[in-house]
Amino acid sequence: MSTKPRMGELAVADYTPAQKEAADFFEQTRGVKLAGPFDILLRSPEVLKRAQYLGAFLRYDCSLSGALSEFAILVVARIWSNDYEWFIHMPIAKKQGVSETIIVAIRHGRRPEGMSEEQAAIYDFSSELMVKRRVTNETYARVHKLFGDKGIIDLSALNGYYSLLAMTMNAVEMACPEGAEELPKLD
């Protein structure tokens, strides 16, 4: 990675009218200031607005619990080696009850031992989908038994949405927040 991000933070004073509208929409619907990957997405205001709808649903209202959703996000962040996404979601996952042992294993690119049945199914589904671009019949059946049709779609969407954010941040070499520790490099 280069030492300088390819896109800096946008100054509010420099927003176009469409960017101002999209930023206001984000802040009104999410309840927080625009920052991180969302500042990058603001370069395409419609992408930001449409991603906000999906992101808010997946983060707060999808069929997977907070702990399982955050677990899936960590798997995505590690697969994409995205320090920022990891830095933001790792403490949330801990707070939601994902164990330190599991977090450390994912951080180092290892399949964690001691996962719950639900975590193991999510880990396998997400890893297969993002690395092999397919999910085996066995893994699909496990996830379906646990979470049903809606769970399959919600988990696929979680993988896609957080991949979108990680890919965008990786493409522009977005800097990690101050004090964040980079993920270990994988072979």
Tell me, yes or no, whether 28 and 111 share the same domain.
Answer: no
125 Cβ contact list (under 8 Å, min separation 6):
135, 139, 140, 142, 143, 155
Give pTM, 2 decimals. Answer: 0.91
Per the structure, the complete domain to which residue 19 belongs is given by 15-60
- Looking at residue 3, its pLDDT comes to 59
Place of tokens 């069929």: 63
In a domain, residue 186? The reply is no
Tell me, yes or no, whether 131 and 160 share the same domain.
Answer: yes
- Three-state SS letters, 140-154: HHHHHHHHHHHHHHH
Using the predicted structure, report yes or no on whether residue 1 has a pLDDT greater than 50.
no
- Looking at residue 175, its pLDDT comes to 81
Tell me, yes or no, whether 35 and 115 share the same domain.
Answer: no
Tell me, yes or no, whether 47 and 116 share the same domain.
Answer: no
Tens digits of per-residue pLDDT, 42-101?
Answer: 999 999 999 999 998 998 899 998 999 999 999 999 999 999 999 999 999 999 999 999
Tens digits of per-residue pLDDT, 150-186?
Answer: 999 999 999 999 999 999 999 999 888 788 888 888 8
In a domain, residue 176? The reply is no
Diameter of the chain measured on Cα atoms = 53
